[in-house]
Structure 1
């Protein structure tokens, strides 16, 4: 017997229904609003936990490439949390209940990943088990929900799948690069703990029958996760306490040519890897804020990681081995171990404001233009744009906690002065010889482009000792 659709022909054979689906597909029923919201809340919870897990591991992860990867993916997760919060709020669901845990087994699943004791297990747990399962759940949702009535959800999930696939492939490649000796141990954990927890949760998306309670014993998360605020670096960072070169003294001197200053700016960009290390501590140790705070702070954290990679690429493009420059972690180490999260945020905002005048980011962009190196100009152009955004983020989330902008700046100034006042302890503790690495890096760049080193540039040697009086003066003011 023919169906009513059998004789339906789109007008002039135009794609029907705005290209979302066929009429036949739209004629079938889909999930209810209630079921859509229930599953979307699961996805929201998963993205939020992934954001927390990846952010919290940035500081103590020693491998530079993984620090930047975690920073990127934590930001992507934050964006998807934001999109899902907006969509759920559109679906007749007050109160939203977005902070509720969907199922105790799902909570335990993410707790286990967060507490993974090794980088390898973290990679596989987060990228393969969690992100892989999230992709399966979203793909099932895309199949089950109605393509026309729930088109807004399908749209945002389509973008989520693109980025989840990229993250999943990154995690697979990163895990494989670290060898295979750890795989048997991981598989036991995954097959006996993680997968059974998801089964008890009714699968990650909650479409299956869930158990009434968690029965799978925890392994790594028996003891709750403790954030590690001490920055770690891999073996390429050979002298992380080094204060042997005063980059700012070189950059702001009228004595030196723009091309050489461009090289020093690349050092400053790569040195910014300490900002994600510090900002991760603010995010991890500041609970209870509106979600917009975490989204914006994650964006800034990712930008700072991107700036470090800009410096890395710039060095490579100029034929310089960036590991010969001594990339320090003094700033993140001192702030994370000596200041409160609020003081760290104050320091961050206070320093950002110093980048806005003409002697700040505009000057660096002009130096990039004057260097004759188009890549450097591009790097500084976007670095400047990002810092303007970061200043706005500070005005949105940091300044309102004070009575005035002046009070907010004074608080940050005082916190920064507290750190500067005993900066000399780095040398006094004998942590480094403060080697002047600049001549070797400069000569490397000259050799790569076939130019003779400028003797005046080569002789630059304003070291930590020369800077010490300035630091003490600033701290006393």
Structure 2
């Protein structure tokens, strides 16, 4: 018998549009998880996690961006990314932000959503075509590797913190994780097919918003002002050893910028869209690297966490303000201090302190990028509000005023406390 056609194969399972529909679902999930992780940074007390989550959400943003661009390639010329039938899945991710505590949020992240996405990526890779859809193969294989590592890192923090947490907090975390997991199962998991049709989420939960006053790790010395010169102009920034120490403490205290950048990403995600989220994810990650720079230098000089001051006054000063001032605060401090960093780099070179020089050198490079972010997105936010997108004067003035008001509330006890801490630190490294 003569055949009229040659046989096909499994390689032709998913056509171009089918692939775009699946990758669009993956993108939407990654995007919502980036927003969730950013919004929770101020509410996470654990220092290791507060400085690790920015890297994780940046990796997720890189994956999301690759997914998004691939969808546009496959749907060319259309650049529409509607939620459509994935609405119930996206609503569940958004609902999960209202976790009762940080352990609950992290547990859902590491035990529910990240495993679900990893399974979905692995399933897709096993069925899709690595010739026709070769570009997707590269970044999804990387995403699988990153998810595996992320889950391990987050679970390690969860296990350590649960060992010293109140049982009530642990119970809340376990209950929340079980509930979100069950809801995801009813939807059919995150997969290659559209979520199952289920009743809309009607559970009444508090509307999630990033904390206005951040949670901090009790292993450190937590106060409002992290060095005497924050509130005492007569206390010198210092030279030599004191400059090395002051610079490291300043880097450590960019933890406020980590928290603030997370708050900003969450607050403007819907208003400014994906391109902003993508830049802001990098901004959050960079600030966390600067924080870790200071931490690692201080630890290498023999300081224990309890000897290290973590201040909150810059972050606190924005409490209750329009989030545009948090964005302005990041931009203001980036542009204000960038010129000083070149002098610091030269000073550390003269001291033969290669580590401080190295850290400040990379910091300077990051800050030049951040200044561009600040101009671009502050202008976009002002334009959205019907204001002159090129005039930052009012924003800058308000930022200066609210920080000044915060400094003016410093008490004699606060001044004495941070002065004693600073002098003890200087004495320790000078002996």
Structure 2 length normalisation: TM-score? 0.86
- Secondary structure at the aligned position of 1:90 is classed as helix
Paired with 2:77 and 2:198, the residues of 1 have a C-alpha distance of: 26
Conservation of the 8 A alpha-carbon contact between 2:221 and 2:308: no
Of 205, 209, 221, the match for 2:191: 205
Equivalence for 1:341: 323
Equivalence for 2:4: none
The verdict on how the C-alpha distance between 1:231 and 1:370 changes in structure 2, with shifts beyond 3 A counting, is same
Q: Does 1:355 align with 2:340?
A: no
Q: Does 1:330 align with 2:330?
A: no
The verdict on how the C-alpha distance between 1:38 and 1:243 changes in structure 2, with shifts beyond 3 A counting, is closer
Paired with 2:257 and 2:176, the residues of 1 have a C-alpha distance of: 34
Paired with 1:389 and 1:252, the residues of 2 have a C-alpha distance of: 30
Of 375, 389, 392, the match for 2:372: 392
What 5-or-longer segments of structure 2 have no aligned partner? 1-7
Equivalence for 2:135: 152
Q: Does 1:365 align with 2:348?
A: no
Paired with 2:217 and 2:429, the residues of 1 have a C-alpha distance of: 24
Q: Does 1:259 align with 2:262?
A: no
What is the RMSD computed on CA atoms of the aligned residues?
2.9
Equivalence for 1:214: 199
Conservation of the 8 A alpha-carbon contact between 1:325 and 1:438: no
The verdict on how the C-alpha distance between 1:85 and 1:252 changes in structure 2, with shifts beyond 3 A counting, is farther
Which has more radius of gyration?
1
Equivalence for 1:273: 255
The verdict on how the C-alpha distance between 1:249 and 1:418 changes in structure 2, with shifts beyond 3 A counting, is closer
User: Structure 1 residue 432: deviation in Å?
Assistant: 6.8
Paired with 2:171 and 2:134, the residues of 1 have a C-alpha distance of: 42
The verdict on how the C-alpha distance between 1:338 and 1:349 changes in structure 2, with shifts beyond 3 A counting, is same
Paired with 1:241 and 1:403, the residues of 2 have a C-alpha distance of: 34
User: Structure 1 residue 426: deviation in Å?
Assistant: 2.7
Q: Does 1:53 align with 2:46?
A: no
Q: Does 1:75 align with 2:55?
A: no
Paired with 1:239 and 1:102, the residues of 2 have a C-alpha distance of: 46
Conservation of the 8 A alpha-carbon contact between 1:199 and 1:210: no
Structure 1 length normalisation: TM-score? 0.78
Q: Does 1:33 align with 2:19?
A: no
Equivalence for 2:292: 309
Paired with 1:67 and 1:432, the residues of 2 have a C-alpha distance of: 27
The verdict on how the C-alpha distance between 1:271 and 1:250 changes in structure 2, with shifts beyond 3 A counting, is farther
Paired with 1:128 and 1:353, the residues of 2 have a C-alpha distance of: 40
Conservation of the 8 A alpha-carbon contact between 2:212 and 2:320: no
User: Structure 1 residue 64: deviation in Å?
Assistant: 1.5
Conservation of the 8 A alpha-carbon contact between 1:61 and 1:232: yes
Paired with 2:23 and 2:303, the residues of 1 have a C-alpha distance of: 48
The verdict on how the C-alpha distance between 1:156 and 1:26 changes in structure 2, with shifts beyond 3 A counting, is farther
Offset from partner CA, 1:324-350 (integer Å, 9 cap, x none): 232210000112x14321122223222
Conservation of the 8 A alpha-carbon contact between 2:39 and 2:210: yes
- Secondary structure at the aligned position of 1:422 is classed as helix
Conservation of the 8 A alpha-carbon contact between 2:85 and 2:195: no
The verdict on how the C-alpha distance between 1:136 and 1:226 changes in structure 2, with shifts beyond 3 A counting, is same
Q: Does 1:117 align with 2:100?
A: yes
Paired with 1:329 and 1:418, the residues of 2 have a C-alpha distance of: 16
Paired with 2:408 and 2:110, the residues of 1 have a C-alpha distance of: 41
Offset from partner CA, 1:253-304 (integer Å, 9 cap, x none): 6xx5433311110011001100121222222222321311111122112111
Offset from partner CA, 1:197-251 (integer Å, 9 cap, x none): 22332320243x7432337x666x6444343222121213434123651179699
User: Structure 1 residue 63: deviation in Å?
Assistant: 1.7
Equivalence for 1:194: 180
What 5-or-longer segments of structure 1 have no aligned partner? 1-24, 447-451, 453-477
Equivalence for 1:285: 267
The verdict on how the C-alpha distance between 1:416 and 1:105 changes in structure 2, with shifts beyond 3 A counting, is closer
Compare 42-51 and 414-423 and name the one that shifted more: 414-423
Q: Does 1:440 align with 2:424?
A: yes
Conservation of the 8 A alpha-carbon contact between 1:258 and 1:370: no
Equivalence for 1:91: 74
- State how 1:118-137 maps to structure 2 within 5 Å: 118-137=101-120
The verdict on how the C-alpha distance between 1:243 and 1:78 changes in structure 2, with shifts beyond 3 A counting, is closer
Conservation of the 8 A alpha-carbon contact between 1:276 and 1:302: yes
Paired with 1:70 and 1:99, the residues of 2 have a C-alpha distance of: 28
User: Structure 1 residue 152: deviation in Å?
Assistant: 1.0
Conservation of the 8 A alpha-carbon contact between 1:104 and 1:201: no
Paired with 2:281 and 2:235, the residues of 1 have a C-alpha distance of: 29
